Structure 1
Amino acid sequence: MMPQFVTVRIKRPDGRPIRIWVPVLPVVLVLSPVVVLAVLGAAVACLVYRLSVVRALGTGWRIVSALPGTRFDVEQGRTAVLVAIR
């Protein structure tokens, strides 16, 4: 299943957090021309390096499907960025 939401929480040095919820599907639809070009570029790269295009695209889809539930945190001093993919 494709991720549905990305939640970004930024803790600023002054202590006030910023929360941003990003729905993935509308972003993908808006950026679909770029996604098509990226897939075509990946297919050309696979052909140049003599890799299976179908297998590479299948692996990419598996990685995208495994993203829901992923969470990573980055802290630098008193600022922190927390990203959760649902």
Structure 2
Amino acid sequence: MIPQLVTVRRRRADGRWRRLFIPVVPVALLLSPLLLLAVVGGVVACFMFDVRPLGALRGIGRVLWALPGTRFEFEEGRTALHVRIR
């Protein structure tokens, strides 16, 4: 399943957490013109490095399909960042 929601939590300097919910589909729709340029650039790169475009697309799809349930946690000193993909 493609990710639907990304939750980002950041600890402020005063110790409180700030939570941000990012819906994936509306953000992808807003960035679709840039996504089109990225796809064209990816196809050009595939031809430059002799990679099959459909194979590269299949690999990107598998990575996106595996993202739900992924968690990134970063803590250093008073700075903390937690990212969760659902």
The TM-score by the shorter chain falls in which range? over 0.9
Structure 2 gap ranges (5+)? none
| TM-score, structure 2 normalization | 0.96
Aligned structure 1 segments of 4 or more residues deviating by more than 2 angstroms:
none
| TM-score, structure 1 normalization | 0.96
In 2, distance between residues paired with 1:66 and 1:40? 24
In 1, distance between residues paired with 2:77 and 2:13? 8
In 2, distance between residues paired with 1:59 and 1:39? 14
In 2, distance between residues paired with 1:65 and 1:35? 18
In 2, distance between residues paired with 1:67 and 1:38? 20
Percent identity of paired positions between Structure 1 and Structure 2: 52
| Pairing 1:1-86 to 2, within 5 Å after superposition | 1-86=1-86
User: CA-to-partner distance for each residue in 1:29-76, whole Å, 9 max, x for gaps?
Assistant: 000111111011111100011111100011011111111000010112
In 2, distance between residues paired with 1:35 and 1:2? 16
In 2, distance between residues paired with 1:25 and 1:65? 14
Root mean square deviation of aligned Cα: 0.7
Number of equivalent positions: 86
